[in-house]
Amino acid sequence: MTSEHHKENFLTKYIWSTDHKIIGLQYGITALLWLLFGFILMLIMRYQLAYPETPIPIVGALLGEGGLLPPEMYNSLGAMHGTIMIFLGVVPLAFGAFGNYFVPLQIGAIDMAFPKLNAASYWMYFVGSIIMVTGFFVPGGAANSGWTSYPPLSNIATTGQTVWLCGMVFLITSSLLGSINILATVIQLRAEGMSWMRLPIFVWVQFITAFLLLLAFPPLEAASVLQLMDRLAGTSFFMPSGLVVSGVALSNTGGGSPLLWQHLFWFLAHPEVYVLILPAFGIVVEVIANNTRRPIWGYKSIVYAGIFLGFMSFIVWAHHMFITGMGTTMSSFFQTTTMIISIPSVVILTALFMSLWGGSIRYNTPMLFALGFLPMFGIGGLTGLPLGLAAADIYLHDTYYVIGHFHYVVAPGTIFALFAGIYYWFPKMTGKRMNETLGKLHFFFSLIFMNGVFLPMMAQGLAGVSRRLWDGGEMYAHAAGVLYLNEVMSVSAWLLGMTQIFFIVNMIISLLGKKTGEDNPWQATTLDWSATTSPPLGHGNFEVVPTVYRGPYEYSVPGADKDFTPQNEKA
């Protein structure tokens, strides 16, 4: 790609840009907006759960008669909340934004391997996300069969489900293009001296994530095509014979299997959860190494654990299907692999805790979020263990326990890590610093309210309250004792929402603030901080393409004159 210094107008520089940093920002801004939107959907749901069949304030008129939230709409909000948070929010932010922006910088490259493909992947994501949301405007509303879209329900659902499937095809294609780019970039464009074992952990985990997306997403694309055929062409891939809906026998030929969808869906969706957590691990490693002023403990074990985790993630998926009647042989197989896959996570978490030992810890905002991640991910991971064992899972499946488990990992888990990344890399992206006081307020209140929302879910789940219930468990006599927690969780959720105002205000005033003129305010060792063009980084990233002489976390090297030694500093 020749560097033609043709005249760039606003469109080519900021809209159709092929520069990985602009594309990273496009992904980031779009993803943060979708995260906010998906969050608001949940706030509406939580009003219904706290005060059943009471008109929803502010947005009630949009939702139903008299401002009341009808059950089908509640189900739409639930399905779309999950879909939007995962596919429009977290993955585009963790992989599309952070991956695109910082992988080339950290490996010493001037851009991604395929810049035009990069732009294409962003715009496919953008179009796919618009398609997804138009579901709210079609007759019958948005998809309402869960983010998992199980047939036969999803097959007979209203038009919104077809819209969901079309949106997924675009989003999956976007992901595939992005994965190809990250993989080719890391393999081919590492700077001289940047061997595999000198890569920052952030790059390693993005690499593994890209492999997961590349190989796990296509079966879901296949399944989406099959479900579209069922819905539009009258096939019966997922429809068993003899289905009767509302007293009327369906006219399709039958002979299909709802379990086929579940297998193809979870073949993607299980690796998908590792896609959600791996970039978070990477960011936490970067921030902890930087703010303990010592090397990461167990670099190699983290790398090998990550690779092992990647491989194992392909053979555990049916732990989401323990209640489908598989025999003891297959059930034992999946329980075994699921127990084994908890080991690499423990290795990584242990390495992160050990990395704090003997460190000179700086408690700035990114570090607080990274530290908060550790016990929160710990709770998330530990609560997953009973779910991985069939005997306990048969009781806990589809209860609030599951919702509590996965939200702990993703919300005070991944999202905290993503906040850490934003606070940490803001100076590199803008040349300015975010306000520390607002940042700390953002952290402490988020931590408190996250636990206020998700800890009671464990109690409700153990008491047998099912998920996806519009009435929040009111119909169950056995749940009576834990129903009061609905209001507790809802109030925590609304307060959690208000806490994000600290973050939004901080972003705005920081962006409007003065540049600090510092290239490396955190005194970090990785190549992104030694990029020789000042922030915001210019075209080409490096005035002189770096050569790498040392590992990524050489902090407090004995005998060195400063407590950090950049990777491109000669031995």
Partner 1 sequence: MDIPFTVKDRPDTGLYNGKLGIWLFLASEVMLFGGLFSAYVFLRTGAESWPVGSDILNVPMATLNTIFLITSSVTMVMSWASLKLNDFGKFKMYLGFTILLACGFLVVKYFEYTAKFEHHLYPSTNNFLGIYFTMTGLHVLHIVGGIIVLFYFLVPGNKMWQSDPDRFVNRIEIVGLYWHFVDLVWIFLFPVFYLL
Partner 2 sequence: MSEYTTEEIHHHVKTYVMVFVALAALTIVTVAISYLDLGVVPAVILALIVASIKGSLVACYFMHLISEKVTIYWTLLVTLACFLVLMFVPLSTMLAQAKI
For the segment 287-326, give every residue that binds partner 2 (CB under 8 A): 311, 314-315, 318, 321, 324-326
- Say whether residue 340 binds partner 2 (CB under 8 A): no
Q: With binding defined as CB under 8 A, does residue 188 bind partner 1?
A: yes
* Stretch of 6-14, 253-261, 375-383, 452-460 contacting partner 2, by CB under 8 A: 253-261
Could you give the angle at which helices 485-512 and 436-462 cross, rounded to 10 degrees? Answer: 160
Shortest reach from residue 180's CB to partner 2, in Å: 11
CB closer to partner 2, 125 vs 265? 265
> What is the pattern of x (binds partner 2, CB under 8 A) and - over residues 172-201?
---------------x--------------
- Pick one of 34, 122, 202, 211: the residue that binds partner 2 (CB under 8 A): 211
Which tokens sit at 366? 């990114």
Q: In whole angstroms, what is the distance from residue 417 CA to residue 349 CA? A: 13
Say whether residue 149 binds partner 1 (CB under 8 A): no
Is 148 an interacting residue with respect to partner 2 (CB under 8 A)? Answer: no
**Residues in contact with 463: Cβ distance below 8 Å, sequence separation at least 6, in sequence order:** 478, 479, 481, 482
Provide, rounded to whole angstroms, the least separation between the CB of residue 261 and partner 2: 11
Here the tokens at position 149 are: 């879209």
Q: Which of residues 220-239 bind partner 2 (CB under 8 A)?
A: none
Instruction: State the Cα–Cα distance between residues 495 and 450, nearest whole angstrom.
Output: 10
Query: Where in 191-250 is the site for partner 1 (CB under 8 A)?
Result: 214-223, 225-226, 229, 233-237
- Give, to the nearest 10 degrees, the angle between helix 328-354 and helix 365-388: 160
Nearer to partner 1, 181 or 365 (CB): 181
The one of partner 1, partner 2, none whose footprint includes residue 237, by CB under 5 to 8 A per kind, is partner 1
DSSP code string of 451-476: HHHHHHHHHHHHTTPBSS-TTTTTT-
Gap between the Cα atoms of 406 and 273, Å rounded: 9
With CB under 8 A, what is the number of residues at the site for partner 2? 23
Q: Is residue 328 within the footprint of partner 2 (CB under 8 A)?
A: yes
Residue window 239-268: x/- pattern of binding to partner 1, with contact defined by CB under 8 A: -------------xx-xxx--x--xx--x-
Which option in partner 1, partner 2, none does residue 19 bind, with CB closer than 5 to 8 A by kind? Answer: none
Per CB under 8 A, the list member of 114, 136, 353, 445 interacting with partner 1 is: 114
CB of 151 to partner 2, least distance (A): 15
Find the Cα–Cα–Cα–Cα dihedral 125, 128, 132, 138, rounded to 10°: 150
139 binds, among partner 2, partner 1, none (CB under 5 to 8 A by kind): none
User: Cα(190)–Cα(196) distance, rounded to whole angstroms?
Assistant: 9
Nearer to partner 2, 304 or 311 (CB): 311
Q: How far is CA 516 from CA 254, 324, 434, 522, 532, in A?
A: 67, 59, 11, 12, 16
Among 540, 549, 551, 556, binds partner 1 (CB under 8 A): 540
Nearer Cβ to partner 1 (255/358): 255
User: Cα–Cα distance between 436 and 443 in angstroms, integer?
Assistant: 10
Nearer to partner 2, 334 or 425 (CB): 334
Shortest Cβ 333–partner 2 spacing (Å): 8
Q: Which of 36, 169, 189, 215 binds partner 2 (CB under 8 A)?
A: 215
For residue 481, is it left (φ>0), alpha (ψ between -120 and 50) or beta?
A: alpha
Neighbours of 301 (CB within 10 A): 16
> Which 3 state secondary structure label does DSSP give 248?
strand
C-alpha distances (whole Å) from 3 to each of 19, 21, 36, 179, 276 are 12, 16, 38, 25, 35
CB of 329 to partner 2, least distance (A): 5
* Total of chain residues touching partner 1, rule CB under 8 A: 48
User: What is the secondary structure of 378-435 as a DSSP string?
Assistant: HHHHHHHHHHHSHHHHHHHTTBHHHHHHHHHHIIIIIIHHHHHHHHHHHHHHHS----
The only residue of 267, 470, 553, 555 in contact with partner 2, by rule CB under 8 A: 267
* Least Cβ distance, residue 303 to partner 1 (angstroms): 19
Helix axes 20-50, 98-107, angle to 10 degrees: 140
Q: Which does 253 bind (CB under 5 to 8 A by kind): partner 1, partner 2, none?
A: partner 1
Beta bridge partners of 142: 160
Residue 459 interacts with, from partner 1, partner 2, none (CB under 5-8 Å by kind): none
- Binding to partner 2 by residue 259, rule CB under 8 A? yes
- Say how far apart CA 298 and CA 489 lie, in whole Å: 38
Structure tokens at 151: 């047939």
Side-chain-facing half-sphere of 367: CA atoms under 13 Å: 17
Q: Could you give the CA distance from residue 69 to residue 53 in angstroms, rounded to a whole number?
A: 7
Residue 321 interacts with which of partner 2, partner 1, none, CB < 5 to 8 Å by class: partner 2
Long-range contacts formed by 357-361: CB under 8 A, 24+ apart: 357/297, 358/294, 359/291, 359/292, 359/293, 359/294, 360/292, 360/293, 360/294, 360/556, 360/563, 361/291, 361/292
* Interaction between residue 452 and partner 1 (CB under 8 A): no
The one segment of 47-55, 180-188, 477-485, 509-517 that binds partner 1 by CB under 8 A: 180-188
Q: Does 3 interact with partner 1 (rule: CB under 8 A)? A: yes
Do the beta carbons of residue 430 and residue 510 sit within 8 Å? yes
Rounded Cα gap, residues 490 and 500, in angstroms? 16
Q: What is the closest distance, in whole angstroms, from the C-beta atom of residue 348 to partner 1 in the complex?
A: 26
Interacting partner of 415 out of partner 1, partner 2, none (Cβ under 5 to 8 A depending on kind): none
Contacts of 242 (CB under 8 A, 6+ apart): 249, 254
Contact residues: partner 2, CB under 8 A: 187, 211, 215-216, 219, 257, 259-260, 263-264, 267, 311, 314-315, 318, 321, 324-330
Contact residues: partner 1, CB under 8 A: 1-3, 109-111, 113-115, 117, 176, 179-181, 183-184, 187-189, 214-223, 225-226, 229, 233-237, 252-253, 255-257, 260, 263-264, 267, 540, 545
